[in-house]
Amino acid sequence: MDKINVFWHRRDLRVADNAGLYYSLNDNLPVVPIFIFDTHILDKLDDKKDARVQFILHELRKINDSYKKHSSGLIVFNSTPEEAFDDLIKRFEVNAVFCNRDYEPYGKERDEHIRQKLAKENIDFLDFKDHVIFEKREILTDNNEPYKVFTPYKNKWLEKLSKNGLEELNSQALLDNLLEYDAPRLPTLKDIGFEESPIEIPENEIEKNVIGNYKDDRDYPSKNGTSRLGIHLRFGTRSIRDAVKSARIHSDVWLSELIWRDFYAMVLSNHPSVVDNAFKPKYDSIPWQNNEDHFEKWCEGKTGYPIVDAGMRELNATGYMHNRVRMVVASFLTKHLLIDWRWGERYFAKKLLDFELASNNGGWQWAAGTGTDAQPYFRVFNPSSQQDKFDKEMRYTKKWVPEINTNKYPSPIVEHKKARERAINTYKEAVS
């Protein structure tokens, strides 16, 4: 049996500009590409119509079509990673496994376990940077420490990018180095225990006028003013290098948003405790109210605050929420309702198509005032003034809350001024 290398697709569901795939195809051995529907992850998904699973399968079919053109194909497992590699080792003489690095706690633990498992079989495990531009300790302060504040991090990030440039990884040109074999058919949604979702996935393209007007339009939820590429960056159907190249040409403001993504990935890599704890430990002493009735009304979009309710209903219906509105609804939950930011974060994790642990956690801790570079605890967004500033004509709000201004729409569950004062006093006492 001849030796082969394995490339393990994870959050890199593309053939072009794929670092791990590029290096595997450059290693002088034929490559077998695989994907694992990890049952450790899928078994925790309550919604069997999860649009993200359907999206992954759709993208795997596109990848498989590309591989078929080279008389090869993708092997897709529906199992634990351990079981998948047991199977592969029996079927092939594996020399090395290539993949792109994962920065989330589960992913790092999984990879270390697989690394040790393969080492016992004298199989190398080689991982590469692909999901971010700069990772864990590539951008450091002058004291050789990870940054805690975004702006100086951004300045150092831009400086390093100008000096180093972006890698050119033409992985698509190397597909003739795939192993030629008859790959098995891909599973269906039903095979992996899921059903079709009615939720539509945004296109993996961004109109030039959207990028050009990004600075002026991005804060207005009724406008087509954001990239909507979140899910494609999350699952790697769009290369982050490609997005950064485009942003450098067309929009410094969009580029800044992409740098925030790297920043939060860096925070998570260096401080994995933020998954369950406040970045600033003193904020773990906040006595949250955690009123379950208020939380349910927030989830359903029935708080009596139109822009908050519109955002939550948009999320529930589409798996997406405009970024400005995300800040408003997160501030409302943590400050007005004094509900633990982790409750909101986990709800977003269930619903968002573009859910990424690092960015979701960072955004929620920013809104709650508990994180790195967070808004101060005494800053409490006024939902009404946010409404007047960013959706004055209520085009966005009326789309999602059609019963506004009728007796069917609920009264506010809390009064803004009292809720604001309660939040400030509660935070002040907890952290002083």
Residues taking part in catalysis: 257, 260, 288, 323, 341, 364
CA distance 259 to 254: 9
DSSP state letter for 291 = -
Q: Please name which of 222, 263, 241 lies closest in space to residue 397, comparing C-alpha atoms.
A: 222
Contact 344, 336 (CB under 8 A): no
| Residue count of the chain | 432
CA distance 119 to 159: 39
- CA 179 to centroid of chain Cα atoms: 32
Give the dihedral sign, CA 351/353/356/359.
Answer: negative
CA distance 396 to 159: 38
Q: Please name which of 322, 301, 297, 319 lies closest in space to residue 395, comparing C-alpha atoms.
A: 322
CA distance 10 to 8: 6
Contact 45, 56 (CB under 8 A): no
| 182, 318, 331, 405, 412 from 409: Cα distances, Å | 59, 22, 22, 7, 9
CA distance 426 to 420: 10
CA distance 189 to 262: 32
Q: Please name which of 223, 220, 203, 214 lies closest in space to residue 248, comparing C-alpha atoms.
A: 214
CA distance 306 to 323: 16
Burial pattern 191-217, b for ≥16 Cβ within 10 A else e, equals ebebeebebebbeeebeeebbebbeee
Structure tokens at 369: 């005032």
